[in-house]
A and B are shown apart, each in its own frame.
Chain A
Amino acid sequence: MKNSGLATKGSKIESFIFYTINTIIMLAVIVVMIYPFWNTIVVSFNNAKDTLLGGITFFPRVFSLYNYQTVFKNDLLVTGAVNSVTRTLLSTVLGVFISALVGYVLSRPEFLWRKFVTRYFLVTMYISAGLIPNYFLMKDLNLINNYFVYILPGLVSVFNIIIVRSYMQSLPASLFEASYIDGAGHFRCFIQIILPCCKPVLATVALWCAVGAWNSWFDTFIYASSKESLTTLQYEMMKLLSSSMNSGANQSASSIYGNRPVTDSVTPVSMQAAVTVVASVPILLVYPFLQKYFVKGVTIGAVKG
């Protein structure tokens, strides 16, 4: 008996040590995940000249909104922001609707060509023509330097369709039967009965569509880089990063900052920080609210993968 008492005491101490270390690790994870972004936010709100002195960590030293004023006075960045917002909204609304529509059809057991149509969509997940044929496709379709190159190619997302389908298949069959008996056709059943039941999965899909559209820069780079009115925030961010990488790779940092004429107001570093914040905060504001949905969505996706 004495022995076991000792054992529990020992395991209590062991337990305490384990939890302490584990908590410390988790706190470290939080810091590692948040700090790079937090630091950038701080730099973006700090006076640009002051930032160059170094040592900005958790809080701004000389608070300033000038970086943001510069960003919002820059025509290209404003155009980019407008394009990013509109393409995200359009892609999300259309993408969710299409995923739901196709998901609905593929979830109906009475659809006779269900197998064929499912395969037809699934194959595209594995085969892609590649960059060059796609480039010529866009050229043939007259989509080069055309706003719709942001919307059309990504409209049908097979992955999202499969997730919506799996969710709809898990709905009780009586839901569908009841609406057919009441004389509702497929369209009414879809719009009035099924869509409202699928809010969680549609929220997930909406988030993914939005993240994808907001974060993409490669399509601007390949298909629309020669037309300034079609620029996007991420593409502008890419250009800023490229120029700072190019200047940084060849010379040592101090020589760059020594030679660069520091204007009264804003520096590449601060500008980049401010654009980073503008180009990511809109998405970051959304995801905590949708967290409970997308956790479910990821799990469903893996089930049917």
Chain B
Amino acid sequence: MEQKSVVLQTKTIQTNKRLKRVKEYKQQIPLFIMVIPCMILTFIFCYYPLSGWIMAFQNFRPAKGYWHSKFVGFDQFTFMFNDPVFWRTFKNTIGMSIMNLVFGFVFAIGFALLLNEIRSIGFKRVVQTASYLPHFLSWVIVCSLISNILSTYDGTLNNLLMGLGLIDKPVLWLGEQKYFWWIVAFSHVWKEVGWNSIIYIAAMSSIDTELYEACEIDGGNRYRKMWHVTLPGIRPTIVVLLIMNLGWLLNAGFEVQYLFGRGLVMDVSETIDIYVLKYGITLGNYSLGTAAGIFKSVISIALVSISNYISGKLDENSVF
């Protein structure tokens, strides 16, 4: 008798569970309907084009298509790795990328530190609003503004330096190789410093004020507080962002280099992206362009995975 009721009970529980399951699955349907169109779109625009990577192993002719173009194995890669132009663009990419990274970090952190010391909230807001402004301009506009500032004809920088007596005739900033990487780095700093500092300022505002008080009682002055409280307070943020950015080492930006890369400067301005554009689209060597694109993608993925792994390891240190 007792056993029977137990069996019955388990049965009802099972049916209840099954009913719940069915209900659960039913609940899934609207969720699925909501997400499926976007998954299809993502498939079309992100996953499907990966099949185009096959071009890199062919001598691709658009008229023949993927099916009838001749397979050449790794010939495109061999050609690319023996091409001095490719290695030049590779060097330029890494060089400019590291410069952007270093200057970007130093200026954003420095700016955040100084802004943090401003007591007047109104003034702080004005400075911040001004510092975000360039972030919202497109690179085309930014390059146009910078080329005006650097112009040899009535450019602000040349006027300023001549007024101070540092140079006696206008410098052709955009025409000389030795200035180019600096111009790229400082364009990035100018455009993004305010934007990048947001995260540090947020991290600073979450530092416990007791730490500052303790430092003050110990006789620490302003600089000691910055060095021993503020900087260690944002160190986890800095580390995480630094590691994440290392993953994008092959993305030195493309627009400044493309828009400012003229004439002589091209030797130091061309990045891998421009190599792809030049060989792939302009010269119609689609296979080589794809191969260079794959090279960049694969290295980027490796870098991103490594940096994600490291930042995962450091997670206990993270503020967030």
Contact = CB atoms under 8 A, between A and B. Distances in A.
Contact of B114 (A26, A187, A238, A283): A26
A89 interface: no
A167 interface: no
Interface string B34-54: 110011011011111111110
B147 to A, nearest CB: 7
A54 interface: yes
Interface stretch (A60-68, A75-83, A249-257): A249-257
A45 to B, nearest CB: 15
Contacts of B145: 36-37, 40, 276
Interface in B119-174: 119, 123, 126-134, 136-141, 143-149, 151-154, 156, 170, 174
Given A130-B297, A253-B152, A105 B141 contact: no
Interface in A238-285: 238, 240-242, 244-246, 248-250, 252-254, 256-257, 272, 276, 279-280, 283-284
B138 A234 contact: yes
Contact of B202 (A29, A135, A299): A299
B105 interface: no
Contacts of B147: 241, 244-245, 248
Given A36-B149, A129-B46, A295 B198 contact: yes
A22 B286 CA distance: 53
Contact of A120 (B24, B39, B280): B39
A111 B47 CA distance: 23
Given A110-B24, A238-B259, A298-B199, A133 B50 contact: yes
A29 B293 contact: no
Most buried by B among A35, A241, A246, A250: A241
A132 B153 contact: no
B294 interface: yes
A237 B133 contact: no
Chain A contact residues: helix, strand, loop or mixed: helix
A181 interface: no
B294 A33 contact: no
Interface string A196-222: 000000000000000100111110001
Interface of B: 24, 27-28, 30-32, 34-35, 38-39, 41-42, 44-53, 55, 62, 111, 114-115, 117-119, 123, 126-134, 136-141, 143-149, 151-154, 156, 170, 174-175, 190, 194-195, 198-199, 202, 221-222, 237, 240-241, 244, 255, 259-260, 262-263, 265, 273, 276-277, 280-281, 286, 289-290, 293-294, 296-297, 300-301, 304, 320
Interface of A: 11, 14-15, 18-19, 22-23, 25-26, 29-30, 32-37, 39-40, 54-56, 98, 101-102, 104-106, 108, 110-113, 117, 120-121, 124, 126-137, 141, 152-153, 155-156, 185-187, 190, 211, 214-218, 222, 234, 237-238, 240-242, 244-246, 248-250, 252-254, 256-257, 272, 276, 279-280, 283-284, 287-288, 291, 295, 298-299, 302-303, 305
